Chains A and B, each alone.
Chain A
Amino acid sequence: MQIDATGTDVPGTDVPGTDVLGVAERWIAAGRPVALATVVETWGSAPRPVGSHLVIDGEGAFEGSVSGGCVEGAVIAEAVEVIADGAPRLLEFGVADETAWRVGLSCGGRIRVLVERVG
């Protein structure tokens, strides 16, 4: 489990200036269907800490990150399904060593991601 060294808001969830949960709220207010993906568990050198969010709309537009780019494509595809049928999904991904290397990590990791519809 990632420990937030500073006690700040969910560690590393947002790129500075990008409030993913705020984006989700604005998209809903604009009438867009929205799913929220959240990293709920990590093993090894997962690229993004527990609590990180990715928000996705029905067209596959997204903001935020759950893996620094490793598995976003798969999460977005699942999220579009979640928006369509309303059933949450709990996904597990292994982040391959090669991919992990590409995002600047020395070894691989695994993550579990909860994808749920908002609204």
Chain B
Amino acid sequence: MDARLLADLNARRHARQAVAVVTPLPGGETRLVGDGDDLAGDPLAVEIAAALRAGRSGIVAKDGAETFINVHVPAPRIVAIGAVHISQALIPVAAAAGYDLIVVDPRTAFATPERFAATTLLADWPEAVLPGLGIDRYTALAAVTHDPKIDDWAIVHAIRRDAFYVGALGSRKTHAKRRERLLSAGLTEADVEGIHAPIGIDIGAASPGEIAVAVMAEVIEAFRRRPIGAPRSPGAPRSPGAPGSIGSRPPGAPS
């Protein structure tokens, strides 16, 4: 392995990018394939895409040759907007599924360390803290405050940053109003269609614990079945947004 390739690999890992290290056996020239690189024409396109999606390393045998694909995938995580009862219930559920949980809420009456001792709590507006978190394709966003002033900016930001899951709490009527606001804010119909609302898989969940399980199940499905290998081109926003509009991509930020 080339030293520059190792440095490149480490840089991508630290930037929370999924990357596959592809090495012909019994040892040969190693190459890196990032999640988002164009795989068209790659003889191992299908195998590399599958390995990246599953987060699974292994050997593939093709045309009499063995190749080792070592996959490095960022840890998936959930950002919950709203330090509410559902978010409290989500702490042990997310931990059981192996997801990190970050809770964001500017309302200090809700965002108390006592209620969220077991997780990362940021008692500030999403506008203030989400850009620093580096929302990415391995981040899920669950907006559960019921307050558009807090939820909307975070939803738009997460969609623009390609979060693998965006879910929002609220009835269908609430979501219809949200839909109008988000379209006015510059999201496309396709963007808004991608929002999971009402949040959580439909299991008739009623209590906060049950809703947390329904949300977690939806997040897991979105992650495990997410499309790999044919993403949008780097730097191209999924939807046009005027500079300075809510959720707009900061200059120079990774896509």
Interface residues of A (CB under 8 A from B): 1-10, 21-22, 24-25, 28, 36, 38, 40-41, 49-51, 87-90, 114-119
Q: How far does the Cβ of B217 sit from chain A's closest Cβ, in whole Å?
A: 15
**Interface pair A25/B75, CB less than 8 Å apart:** no
From 134 to 161 in chain B, residues with beta carbon under 8 angstroms from any chain A beta carbon are: none
CB contacts (< 8 Å) of A22 on chain B: these are: 10
**Interface pair B27/A4, CB less than 8 Å apart:** no
Question: Which of the candidate stretches B40-48, B56-64, B103-111, B119-127 sits at the interface with the other chain?
Answer: B56-64
Q: What would be 14 A-B contacts, judged by CB atoms less than 8 Å apart?
A: A2-B57, A4-B54, A6-B98, A7-B224, A8-B73, A10-B71, A25-B7, A28-B6, A38-B70, A40-B59, A50-B70, A116-B1, A118-B3, A118-B6
B41-85 interface bits toward A, Cβ cutoff 8 Å, 1 = contact, 0 = none? 000000000000011111100000000101111111000000000
Check if B165 is an interface residue, CB within 8 A of chain A.
Answer: no
Taking each of B23, B27, B30, B54, which has the highest tally of chain A beta carbons within 10 Å of its own beta carbon? Answer: B27
**A38 closest partner in B (C-beta):** B70
CB contacts (< 8 Å) of A9 on chain B: these are: 13, 72-75
Nearest 8 A/B pairs, CB to CB? A88-B27, A6-B98, A90-B26, A51-B57, A7-B55, A119-B3, A8-B75, A40-B68
CB contacts (< 8 Å) of A50 on chain B: these are: 57-58, 70
A7 with B59, Cβ < 8 A, contacts A38-B70, A90-B26, A114-B26 known: no
**Interface pair A114/B27, CB less than 8 Å apart:** yes
Check if B25 is an interface residue, CB within 8 A of chain A.
Answer: yes
CB contacts (< 8 Å) of A115 on chain B: these are: 27
Tally chain B residues at the interface, Cβ within 8 Å: 33
B1-15 interface bits toward A, Cβ cutoff 8 Å, 1 = contact, 0 = none? 111001101100100
**Interface pair A7/B75, CB less than 8 Å apart:** yes
**B54 closest partner in A (C-beta):** A3
Check if B28 is an interface residue, CB within 8 A of chain A.
Answer: yes
Q: How far does the Cβ of B216 sit from chain A's closest Cβ, in whole Å?
A: 13
Q: How far does the Cβ of B221 sit from chain A's closest Cβ, in whole Å?
A: 13
**B70 closest partner in A (C-beta):** A51
Check if B236 is an interface residue, CB within 8 A of chain A.
Answer: no
Q: How far does the Cβ of B68 sit from chain A's closest Cβ, in whole Å?
A: 4
**A9 closest partner in B (C-beta):** B72
Apart from the given pairs A7-B98, A9-B74, A88-B27, 18 other A-B contacts in the complex at a CB distance below 8 Å? A2-B56, A3-B54, A4-B54, A4-B56, A4-B73, A8-B55, A8-B75, A8-B76, A9-B73, A28-B3, A28-B6, A40-B68, A50-B57, A114-B25, A114-B27, A116-B23, A116-B27, A119-B3
